[in-house]
């Protein structure tokens, strides 16, 4: 079912909802496995796990930096523009942190060093989780109030949940850590998901005309909206990834994954649920 030639009206509802549900179950299984193994569904970054981030301007190669900081819990070394390097370390004792700070200043006196304690990271983790839960609940309430019909409203909420869950599972497979920027991207993804799902549900349930025409019209409008957003986010990712703007690159990477997942959940899963709902209630064209 290529999305360029995809015709919603050609496929039966059961066939449309099967693949998205299987992918959701696989994603839930992976995240549950991660949670039981590590205590987190995704690997936490410095923001949540604690650690040290160092930003320097240097001509030293990545291998030279790794050799210089051998003996410390180095987790990542990245490159930016104009010789910029960002160096990340995992949690350390107070003595190790002080020794690391001295070692950084000895070689890179102009470096910017940021320390995040484990306790503070844990607090940020809890606050981010609460923000995600409240955002999702707020979205669900608005959707149910707007449509006042249980099955279509539930489909919108379920699609948004599936977007976040499958995106998180893909993040885990790609090694994208859970940080404040990626958490913000997941929050933004709720809005993108609901936008396309509300478009579909509103066009199909509240407009007059043949059901087939309403599905086709909603798809034409929605696919243009989403592909335009994907193109913009992809451009942002390429520019920031090669430019070394790590925060924006992380946000755009998660959004890019989520937008592709949303194409499936909106125009395959949600459309299939709406088709089954209309057929069951005798509202065929």
Could you give the CA distance from residue 39 to residue 133 in angstroms, rounded to a whole number? 18
**Do the beta carbons of residue 79 and residue 62 sit within 8 Å?**
yes
pLDDT score of 82 more than 90: no
Look at residue 285 in the predicted model and tell me its pLDDT: 40
pLDDT score of 120 more than 70: no
pTM of this structure: 0.83
Q: Which of 17-26, 134-143, 207-216 has the highest mean pLDDT?
A: 17-26
Percent of the chain's residues with pLDDT above 90: 26
Which alpha helices (H) appear in the chain, and where do they start and end?
A: 13-38, 46-49, 62-68, 94-107, 118-147, 150-174, 180-206, 211-243, 246-264, 271-280
Hey, what CATH topology would domain 8-44+119-280 get?
Multidrug efflux transporter AcrB transmembrane fold (1.20.1640)
The side-by-side arrangement of strands in the sheet containing 112-116 is 74-79, 84-89, 51-57, 112-116
pLDDT score of 1 more than 50: no
Look at residue 284 in the predicted model and tell me its pLDDT: 44
Percent of the chain's residues with pLDDT above 70: 94
Could you give the CA distance from residue 195 to residue 181 in angstroms, rounded to a whole number? 21
Mean pLDDT of the 150-168 span: 92
Look at residue 81 in the predicted model and tell me its pLDDT: 65
Q: How confident is the model at residue 25 (pLDDT cuts 50, 70, 90)?
A: very high
Could you give the CA distance from residue 264 to residue 243 in angstroms, rounded to a whole number? 31
DSSP 44: B
Q: Do the domains 8-44+119-280 and 51-116 sit in the same CATH topology, yes or no?
A: no
Q: How confident is the model at residue 73 (pLDDT cuts 50, 70, 90)?
A: confident
Q: Compute how many other C-beta atoms are within 10 angstroms of the C-beta atom of residue 131.
A: 14
**Which structure tokens are listed for 106?**
């000895």
Hey, what CATH topology would domain 51-116 get?
Alpha-Beta Plaits (3.30.70)
Q: How confident is the model at residue 18 (pLDDT cuts 50, 70, 90)?
A: very high
Q: Where are the domains of the chain?
A: 8-44+119-280, 51-116
pLDDT score of 188 more than 70: yes
Q: Compute how many other C-beta atoms are within 10 angstroms of the C-beta atom of residue 223.
A: 17
């Amino acid at each position: 079912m290529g999305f360029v030639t995809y015709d919603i009206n050609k496929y039966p509802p059961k066939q449309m909802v099967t693949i998205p549900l299987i992918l959701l179950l696989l994603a839930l299984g992976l995240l549950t496995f991660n949670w039981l193994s590590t205590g987190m569904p995704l690997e936490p970054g410095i923001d949540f796990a604690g650690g040290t981030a160092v930003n320097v301007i240097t001509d030293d190669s990545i291998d030279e930096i790794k050799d210089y900081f051998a003996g410390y819990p180095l987790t990542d070394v990245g490159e930016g523009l104009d010789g910029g390097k960002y160096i990340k370390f995992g949690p350390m004792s107070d003595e190790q942190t002080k020794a690391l700070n001295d070692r950084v200043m000895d070689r890179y006196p102009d470096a910017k060093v940021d320390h995040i304690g484990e306790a503070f990271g844990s607090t940020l983790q809890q606050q981010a989780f609460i923000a995600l839960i409240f955002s999702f609940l707020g979205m669900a309430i608005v959707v149910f109030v707007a449509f006042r019909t249980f099955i279509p409203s539930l489909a919108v909420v379920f699609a948004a949940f599936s977007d976040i869950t499958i995106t998180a599972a893909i993040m885990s497979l790609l090694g994208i850590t859970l940080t404040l920027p990626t958490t913000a991207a997941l929050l933004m993804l709720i809005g993108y998901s609901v936008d396309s799902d509300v478009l579909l549900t509103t066009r199909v349930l509240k407009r007059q005309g043949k059901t087939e025409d309403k599905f086709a019209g909603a798809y034409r409008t929605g696919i243009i909206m989403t592909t335009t957003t994907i193109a913009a986010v992809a451009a942002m990712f390429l520019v920031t990834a090669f430019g070394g703007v790590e925060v924006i690159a992380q946000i755009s990477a998660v959004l890019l994954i989520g937008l592709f997942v949303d194409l499936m959940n909106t125009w395959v899963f949600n459309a299939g649920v709406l088709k089954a709902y209309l057929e069951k209630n005798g509202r065929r064209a």
